[in-house]
Amino acid sequence: MSATTADRETETASIREALRTALREELLADDDVFIMGQDEEDGGSFEVTAGLHDEFGFDRVRNTPISEAAQVGAGVGAAATGMRPVVNLSFADFVGVCFDQVMNQAGKTRYMFGGASEVPLTIRAIEGAGLNAAAQHSGTVHTLVAHLPGVKAVAPGTPAAAKGLMKSAVRSDDPVVFFENKTIYERHGPVPVDDDFTVPIGEASVEQEGEDVTVVATQRLLGESLAAARDVDASVEVIDPRSLYPLDTDTLAASLRKTGRLVVADESPLSYGLHAEIVTRVVEDAFWSVDAPVQRVGVPDTPIPFSPSQEDEVVPDADDVRRAIERTF
């Protein structure tokens, strides 16, 4: 089922503004919440937290050294001892530097202590290509984290989902890695204004209903898929999974049973990734509903090139989604 903005007072806001509002509301609501990361006292690399240091001070919003391992390690320790830290991992490519802290500490602590210890840690991981930022600052790596037992992974594609999921992440007693695509911070949309609005982790959203083909699209490719849907001679259902783990298989499979055709669009490498996981889960549940070969839209198995023309060549867009939809007929 989808958590929607229906029957709520809304305002138009960007994803950047929605994230900032969510963090501000959680800082106000709970004294155990604090933010740390590189340049956080100046709003972080993409100004998501602009103004929060001035409002809440050093004890609640603070800079860290340029060390992702130290940032996440400190976050795990603070969370395990009762705080609710939000750590900004400015470029998700560097999750590799702190993989032990994410995989072996944050993800396994509750299990290893028989549920006696919790790690309410939120890691903001900014990812995605399109800014000519070169290979080490342009990757989409959420598949790596979604693979880890004990760690939740979310990746909103709309401002409302950004606000609602961020509040759920901060309130979660489990570690949540919150993936933000850096190219859609200025995507605008309706956002509920009340501070009780949340989006449950693990619920997909049907962003556009259709009858002929289902497109499951994440982050930037959600907007590209909605644009592609307007350019084809078919009724297209577009779904934002929002949560990568746990994944709302029921909503995705129900859509495939209705349409019989499926396209998965995600800006990550095609091999061994989110595309395969979504296809497998949906086909397991709705195999007899599949009327055409399932199509995938993603990045070829390559680092993102620095050259703008080569980057444009490998990063998928609405035309790629449109061609994938057409191949299902």
The residues that are catalytic are 137
Q: Tell me the Cα Rg of the chain.
A: 19
- Packed helices 159-171 and 15-29: angle between N→C axes, nearest 10 degrees: 30
192 preceded by a cis bond (ω within 30 of 0): no
Contacts of 15 (CB under 8 A, 6+ apart): 156, 158, 159, 162, 180, 184, 185, 186, 187
Q: Please state, in angstroms and rounded to a whole number, the distance separating the CA atoms of residues 293 and 288.
A: 12
Chain centroid, CA 276 distance in Å: 17
Return the H-helix or E-strand segment holding 238. strand 236-240
Return the amino acid letter for 93. Answer: D
Angle (nearest 5°) at CA 105 between 101 and 109: 160
- Pairing status of strand 152-154 against strand 243-245: antiparallel
3-state helix, strand, coil in the chain (%, to 5): 40, 20, 40
Return the amino acid letter for 147. Answer: H
Are 237 and 215 contacting, i.e. CB atoms less than 8 angstroms apart?
yes
Structure-token pair, residue 246: 């746990």
Contacts of 189 (CB under 8 A, 6+ apart): 12, 13, 158, 159, 160
Are 85 and 34 contacting, i.e. CB atoms less than 8 angstroms apart?
yes
First-to-last alpha carbon distance for the chain, in angstroms, is 28
Q: Which residue has the tokens 């919150």?
A: 178
Q: Please state, in angstroms and rounded to a whole number, the distance separating the CA atoms of residues 69 and 28.
A: 28
